[in-house]
Structure 1
Amino acid sequence: MAHPVTPGADLRALIAAPHPDEAALPPAAPVGNGTRLLRGVPYADLPGARPLELDLYLPDRAPDTGPSPLVLFVHGGAWRRGRREDMGYRMRDWTPGPLARIAAAGFAVAAADYRLSGEAVFPAPLDDLRHALRWLGLRAAELGIDARRTVVWGESAGGHLASLLALSPEACHVSGAIAWYAPSDLTLDGDDPTTPHALLLGAAPDAVPDLARAASPLARVHAGAPSFLLAHGTHDSMVDCDHSRRLAARLEAVGASVELVMVPGADHVWHQLPDDQVEKVFTHSQEWARRLVNEGRRQDSAGVV
């Protein structure tokens, strides 16, 4: 069947995929436990780069409950690899998975792609997450989410990016951040150009000190920062737990609300931690997020913004 073409129409514009701001949403598929999933939703179309996508886990809501608070999840992988739905190897065999469990607790959960260090250097991944946050706010009404009650939650490199996003001026509606075993100071690798930090920056930290500082949550802390939950294993062999201790101290110094959870005996990605303790860290983080967004709802209801 032939499609009519408006005379003078731009062929490039005609054949381009619909812009993510306006594209139809994919159908939602039930994933059990009272949740449904929209998989592979484009949120940004960047020239010369692959389309960036996110998965949306949405809770089944009663009509009178109102929009759901949002968790924006950021995966780890040393900024070099990783998959948006992966919360770490200790939770890969959970059924339902951890993101579906967060949704079942009443959150909308967006698990977003971002450009890895082999594709683009900093600040590209942070810019991508800003795009995701903007897109979620733009489409909030049709998705049934309350983007004004957002918690960003990341693990490892994803925790680093979640912390940066929460501390960004553009993230004014972010209520808080959960960062598991995340780097907070990228200035520490010196002149080694082969570390994950250097690959993220595009050069050894000593060669780009201003960029390394700009990429460090420790240096981005400011008065008025949102609430933070920092969780770190005391035996982390990949990201020293001092990163979380120093960030917590800096947040406390400016009057921000911060909870530091040091997990005895745990290595990176909760390696060596018993299963029930992994469950405990996850549940504690989820409940922390719930309390935070519920407090935000009470303040909005009272007219405090």
Structure 2
Amino acid sequence: MINRPLSRLLALTAALVATLTVLVAAGPPPTAAATRPPRVFRELAYAPAQPAGTRGHLLDLYLPAESATAPHPLLIVMGGSGWLADDGKGYAPALVPYFTSHGFVVAGVSTRSSQQALFPAQVNDVQAAIRWLRAHAARYEFDPDRIAVLGDSSGGWTALMAGFTGTGVRAVVDLYAPIDFGQMDAHMLPGACSSFNAAFHLDACHASPLSPESSLLGCPILTCPARVAAADPIARLTPAAPPVLIIHGTEDGLVPLHQSELLFDALTTAAVPTTFYTVPGVGHNRDIVSPDHAPATVRHVGKPLTADADHPTYAVIESFVRAASGLPGR
């Protein structure tokens, strides 16, 4: 384990994970359900456990109920926890009913927490998971050349890192990911930093020495600008990056909407095909993909890969991923 003031840090970890669970646990009901349950392969190790006894090296796979003659596309799903948990694969079941019934294999992938390994270990982990998945594509009936990644919050950050580091994924779906840690506090909603500090016993919002971002980097973010810059997905962005779908709510009290604005501007400069949904009235919550919210604002870089919709639903995500992967629509 990393040497830190553990009592306070573990208290912060428990508080933040509990709060994130409340904020993002409930996804929308799927708009389509399989007539038969998917085939499930759990607790597959894509690398050795480091440290021993931890779970950040595991993934679960969900295959459509029926085998197909042609390999399926693969959607990798990673849930966020502020990098404080090693169970990111637990987000996948919320998406499985829709995507397996629409012809996808779904992989829930976990990476190590900041308490187990500092950045860039999480980037190394997702790269290792993708290598493992490609090596086992035939066994699990998916196309190794048609892989997309999706994540929310810190899981969205991991998805962007996977997309921008030469892993060959074909599409990235980013739900309200942090981008430039150094700019977060200046753009927090009114009162959000005070609530954040009170809830997690911090004194300086995201700049606190024990904030999720400082814990990931192993230093208070204002004291280590080089590490902050290295952890910014934009630093790894090139025009060869895969298309990106960004979804962010205007009332996000943990990751300011400005973070996705920074990403969208960088993708515009790099001319990477992008669709950006800004959802009014929605906070840091996975139900952002529900059709129950007010209509979203949509912006694009390049020719749109999917028709504009009022809401960024699972169907919109599917359409975007299919187009980015060179697959026909349904």
TM-score greater than 0.5 by the shorter chain: yes
What's the offset of the Cα at 1:197? 0.5
Please, which of 149, 152, 156 is the counterpart of residue 153 of structure 2?
156
* Paired residue secondary structure (2:143): strand
The TM-score normalised by the length of structure 2 is 0.71
Say whether residues 1:119 and 2:116 are aligned partners. yes
Aligned partners of 2:322, 2:234: CA distance in 1, in Å? Answer: 25
CA contact (8 A) 2:75 2:104 kept: yes
Say whether residues 1:141 and 2:138 are aligned partners. yes
Q: Which amino acid aligns with 1:215?
A: A
Aligned partners of 1:63, 1:201: CA distance in 2, in Å? Answer: 44
Q: 1:102 to 1:153 in 2, by over 3 A?
A: same
Deviates more, 1:39-48 or 1:275-284: 275-284
Say whether residues 1:236 and 2:231 are aligned partners. no
Q: Which amino acid aligns with 2:84?
A: R
What's the offset of the Cα at 1:148? 0.9
2:324 counterpart residue number = 292
* Paired residue secondary structure (1:41): strand
Aligned partners of 1:230, 1:41: CA distance in 2, in Å? Answer: 29
What's the offset of the Cα at 1:291? 2.6
* Paired residue secondary structure (2:40): strand
Q: Which amino acid aligns with 1:292?
A: A
Say whether residues 1:177 and 2:182 are aligned partners. no
CA contact (8 A) 2:322 2:328 kept: no
Render the CA deviation track for 1:106-137: whole Å, top value 9, x for unaligned.
11111011101111111111111111000001
Render the CA deviation track for 1:220-256: whole Å, top value 9, x for unaligned.
2212111000000011111101111110110111110
Q: 1:99 to 1:85 in 2, by over 3 A?
A: farther
Say whether residues 1:68 and 2:84 are aligned partners. no
Say whether residues 1:197 and 2:192 are aligned partners. no
Structure 1: runs of 5+ lacking an equivalent: 1-30, 89-95, 299-305
Render the CA deviation track for 1:89-108: whole Å, top value 9, x for unaligned.
xxxxxxx8322321221111
CA contact (8 A) 1:74 1:112 kept: yes
Q: Which has the larger radius of gyration?
A: 1
Counterparts of 1:1-305 in structure 2, within 5 Å, are 33-46=36-49, 48-49=51-52, 50=54, 52-64=57-69, 66-81=70-85, 83-87=87-91, 97-169=94-166, 171=167, 173-188=168-183, 192-270=208-286, 276-277=292-293, 281-293=313-325, 295=326
* RMSD of Structure 2 on Structure 1 (CA): 2.6
Aligned partners of 2:290, 2:68: CA distance in 1, in Å? Answer: 40
CA contact (8 A) 2:151 2:159 kept: yes
Q: Which amino acid aligns with 1:38?
A: F
Q: Which amino acid aligns with 2:320?
A: W
The number of residues matched between the two structures is 257
What's the offset of the Cα at 1:257? 0.4
Q: 1:273 to 1:255 in 2, by over 3 A?
A: closer
What's the offset of the Cα at 1:267? 0.8
Q: 1:152 to 1:249 in 2, by over 3 A?
A: same
Q: Which amino acid aligns with 1:241?
A: L
The TM-score normalised by the length of structure 1 is 0.76
Q: 1:254 to 1:232 in 2, by over 3 A?
A: same
Aligned partners of 1:231, 1:158: CA distance in 2, in Å? Answer: 13
Greater RCO (Cα-Cα under 8 Å, separation 6 or more): 2
Q: Which amino acid aligns with 1:243?
A: Q
Q: Which amino acid aligns with 1:282?
A: Y
CA contact (8 A) 1:84 1:111 kept: yes
Q: 1:290 to 1:194 in 2, by over 3 A?
A: same
1:10 counterpart residue number = none
CA contact (8 A) 1:76 1:82 kept: no
Aligned partners of 2:49, 2:132: CA distance in 1, in Å? Answer: 14
